[in-house]
C-alpha cells in the first residue's frame, strides 16, 4: 500500500506543479496581452485626438477661406462698386471745379481711409466669426435661404441647448448642412424638417424630408464626410427610409460635446 501512496503523492505534486506553471503562464500571458491592448488603445486614442485636432484645423482653414471669399464678393459687387462710383464722381467734380476746395480734399481722404478700414475689417472678421459661430443661428439662416427658393418648405425645431464649442458647432453644422443638401439634390422633397433634441447621454439631430426615399446605406463623398465627422465625436449617422421620404439621424454623445 505504501508504494501506491508514494505514487499518488508524486502524481499530486507533479499535477500541482503543472497547474502552478500553467496558472503562472496564463497570468503572464494575460498581463502581456492586456498591457498590449492598453498600449494599442492609447495609441488609437492619441491618433484619434490628433485626427480630431487636424479636422478642427481644417475646419478653421475652410472657414477662413469661405469668409474671405464671401467678403471679397460683397466688397467687389456692392461696397466696392459704391466706393468706386463715389471716387469717380469726386474726380469729375475736381476736374470741373479746377480749384479743389479743402472740403473736397478732406472728403477724398476720408473716403480713402474708409476703404482701408473696410479692407482691415475683411481681414479680421474670419477669426471673430469662428469664435462666435452659433450652430442654431446658422442653421436657421440656411433654412431661410432654402425657403427663399420656394421649392422646399423647411423648418427647424430645437428643444435643447447646444453645449458645444464654436469649432465643434461648425463640424456639426457641416454634417447637418450636407444632410440638407443631399435631400434637396437627390430626393426632391417639398417638405424638410430639422429636429434637434438632447438628453444626458446624447445630442440628436434628425433631418427628415418627404422626397424620394434613399437607401439606408446610401454612400457618396458627402455622406462619407458626414460619417467621418460624426466619428470624431464618437457619434453616428444613420439613414432610414420611411413611408414618405427619408430620415437622417445624427447622434453625438453628450460627453463628447460638452
In this prediction, residue 154 has a pLDDT band, given cuts at 50, 70 and 90, of very high
Q: How far apart are CA 66 and CA 215, in angstroms?
A: 32
Cell numbers placing 120: 482691415
Q: For residue range 157-199, what is the model confidence (pLDDT) as tens digits?
A: 999 988 888 888 988 998 999 999 889 888 889 999 999 998 8
Q: How far is CA 217 from CA 89, 213, 214, in A?
A: 61, 12, 8
Last residue of a domain, one of 82, 106, 132: 132
Q: Please tell me whether residues 120 and 174 are part of one structural domain.
A: no
pLDDT band for 256, please (50, 70, 90 cuts).
Answer: very low
Which of residues 68, 103, 132 is at a domain's end?
Answer: 132
Residue from 138, 133, 161 nearest 64 by CA: 133
Regarding whether 175 and 115 lie in a shared domain, the answer is no
> How far is it, in rounded angstroms, from Cα 62 to Cα 67?
8
Average pLDDT, the chain: 80
Shared domain for 110 and 153, answered yes or no, is: no
Domain around 204: 135-257
Question: 3-state class of 197 per DSSP?
Answer: strand
Comparing 116 with 191, the larger pLDDT belongs to 191
Which bin fits 187, alpha (ψ -120 to 50), beta or left (φ > 0)? alpha
Using one digit for the tens of pLDDT, what is the confidence trace for 73-105? 676 667 766 776 787 787 788 787 777 788 877
Q: What is the pLDDT of residues 32-55, one digit of tens each?
A: 888 888 888 888 887 887 787 777
pTM confidence score: 0.56
Same domain as 190, residue 114: no
If asked whether residues 166 and 201 sit together in one domain, one would say: yes
**Dihedral pair phi/psi, residue 160, rounded to 5°:** -150, 165
Structurally, the chain folds into a number of domains equal to 2
Amino acid at each position: 500500500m505504501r508504494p501506491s501512496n508514494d505514487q499518488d503523492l508524486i502524481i499530486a505534486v507533479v499535477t500541482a506543479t503543472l497547474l502552478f506553471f500553467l496558472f503562472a503562464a496564463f497570468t503572464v500571458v494575460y498581463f502581456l496581452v492586456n498591457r498590449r491592448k492598453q498600449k494599442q488603445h492609447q495609441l488609437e486614442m492619441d491618433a484619434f485626438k490628433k485626427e480630431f485636432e487636424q479636422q478642427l484645423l481644417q475646419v478653421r482653414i475652410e472657414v477662413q477661406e469661405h469668409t474671405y471669399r464671401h467678403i471679397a464678393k460683397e466688397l467687389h459687387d456692392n461696397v466696392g462698386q459704391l466706393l468706386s462710383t463715389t471716387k469717380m464722381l469726386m474726380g469729375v467734380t475736381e476736374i470741373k471745379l479746377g480749384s479743389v476746395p479743402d472740403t473736397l480734399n478732406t472728403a477724398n481722404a476720408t473716403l480713402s481711409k474708409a476703404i482701408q478700414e473696410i479692407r482691415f475689417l475683411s481681414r479680421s472678421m474670419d477669426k471673430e466669426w469662428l469664435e462666435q459661430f452659433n450652430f442654431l443661428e446658422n442653421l436657421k439662416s440656411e433654412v431661410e435661404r432654402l425657403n427663399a427658393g420656394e421649392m422646399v418648405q423647411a423648418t427647424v425645431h430645437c428643444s435643447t441647448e447646444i453645449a458645444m464649442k464654436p469649432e465643434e458647432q461648425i463640424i456639426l453644422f457641416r454634417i447637418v448642412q450636407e444632410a440638407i443638401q443631399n435631400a434637396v439634390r437627390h430626393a426632391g422633397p417639398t417638405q424638410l424638417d430639422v429636429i434637434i433634441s438632447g438628453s444626458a447621454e446624447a445630442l440628436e439631430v434628425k433631418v427628415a424630408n418627404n422626397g424620394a426615399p434613399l437607401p439606408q446605406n446610401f454612400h457618396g463623398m458627402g455622406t462619407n464626410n458626414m460619417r467621418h465627422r460624426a466619428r470624431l465625436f464618437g457619434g453616428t449617422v444613420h439613414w432610414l427610409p420611411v413611408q414618405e421620404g427619408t430620415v437622417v439621424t445624427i447622434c453625438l454623445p453628450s460627453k463628447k460635446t460638452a
